[in-house]
Structure 1
Amino acid sequence: MPNRELSASQTPTIDDIDKRLLRLLRTDARMSITELAEHVNLSATPCARRIKRLEEAGIITGYYTQTDAEKLGYPLAVFIAISMDRHTAERFELFERKIQSFDEVISCSIVTGRSEDYLIKVRVRDMAHYEEFLLHRLNRIEGVAQVHTSFELREVLNRSII
């Protein structure tokens, strides 16, 4: 069987049926192959092949459960912009390793176009929880020089790209 893995510079061909499958899976990743096939007017076998091809190409990277943070007791979403004291590989590696150990952090990106180096999003129970996170964990990471906090009022949209 030929190797279908693509290099980082190659983009697989995605047609309208693939896009419809991805939208359906984004809405309900537990949908059966039979249900997916019916929605895109294919039989089950070609539909399954398409999904397998999307997985092998690295377009579908996994299936997961989306949870409601508020119902789990984490209603407060916070964006934190972080400036590092020095721009060295060691500082950034230490920060990134440490930030991954905090369960409250749900995303972390290194950014450009602003004075801060990182933008993270965290979920906390309340202001006391945020204060504990900020003062006793985030600010204690070696190299963190400054933090700027913004509180999310309401999430308007959160979806994957198709």
Structure 2
Amino acid sequence: MSDRDDIVELDALDRHIIYRLQHDARKTSASTIAEEMDVAASTVRNRINRLEERGVIKGYNLDVDYERAGFQLHTLIICNAEIPEREQLAREALEIDGVVDVQEVMTGSENIHVEVVGSDGDDLSRIGQELDALGLQVVDEDIIRNEYVHPYEGFAPEK
């Protein structure tokens, strides 16, 4: 059985916790969520721990302004991988210096999306060559200007 087959049933409190943490995990306290849901802060902390242990909450991502940090080239590299090798190649791509995110796409030929950062064109060339050496075919490269995220509305509280 894979991790995806082990479905965790979420109640209203679990969904609210996830929604609030997706919105801004850094500035959202267990106490704030507890007040909103009329439960004890310890209940919220226990639920967060359980959601983490069960793999529903897999981590907390930092939103970095790469340009301000001196990495002018924040780029999305679209690759193609043979289906039987796709997952392994995606995991290996994540190990390349400068790669910050890899997504496996289930449909189409452009089935690996690799987000990279670099300070100059040489960085991007090196990363492209390393992706090619892994066996990924680079199909396209797009410079990312901004990225916007939003919590999944399916976890939003009932209105």
Alignment TM-score > 0.5, same fold: yes
Q: CA distance change for structure 1 residues 74 and 14 in 2, over 3 Å: closer, same or farther?
A: farther
Asked if the contact 1:80/1:148 (under 8 Å) is kept, the reply is yes
- Which AA in structure 1 matches 2:146? R
Q: 1:83 & 1:64 partners in 2: Cα distance?
A: 26
**Percent identity between the aligned chains?**
23
Measure how far apart 1:12 and its partner are: 0.9
1:103 maps to 2:94:
no
**Shift in Å, 1:160:** 5.6
Counterpart in 2 of 1:34?
Answer: 31
Query: Displacement of 1:93 after TM fit?
Result: 6.6
- Name the counterpart of 2:128: 134
TM-score, scaled relative to structure 2? 0.70
CA pair 92-60 structure 1, distance change in 2 beyond 3 A:
closer
TM-score (norm. length: structure 1): 0.69
**Alignment match of 1:21 (pick from 17, 22, 35):** 17
Of residues 130, 146, 153 in structure 1, which corresponds to 2:145?
A: 153
CA distance in 1: counterparts of 2:42 and 2:104, whole angstroms: 41
Flag structure 2 segments of 5+ consecutive residues without an equivalent.
none
CA 1:71–1:153: 2 relative to 1, 3 Å: closer
In structure 2, what is the Cα distance between the partners aligned to 1:10 and 1:94?
24
Which structure features the higher share of helix residues?
A: 2
Any unmatched runs of 5+ in structure 1?
1-5
Per the alignment, residue 3 of structure 1 pairs with none
| Number of corresponding residues | 150
Structure 1 residue 52: deviation in Å?
3.0
Output one character per residue of 1:14-51: Cα deviation in whole Å (capped at 9) or x when no partner.
31x33332233230346443333223332223223332
Offset from partner CA, 1:70-114 (integer Å, 9 cap, x none): 232223221212234xx374x557634541221311222333443
- C-alpha contact 1:12 1:57 (8 A) present in aligned 2: no
Find the residue that maps to 2:78 and give its secondary structure: strand
Give, as a single letter, the amino acid of the residue that structure 2 aligns with 1:139: D
Shift in alpha-carbon separation, 1:69–1:54, aligned structure 2, 3 A: same
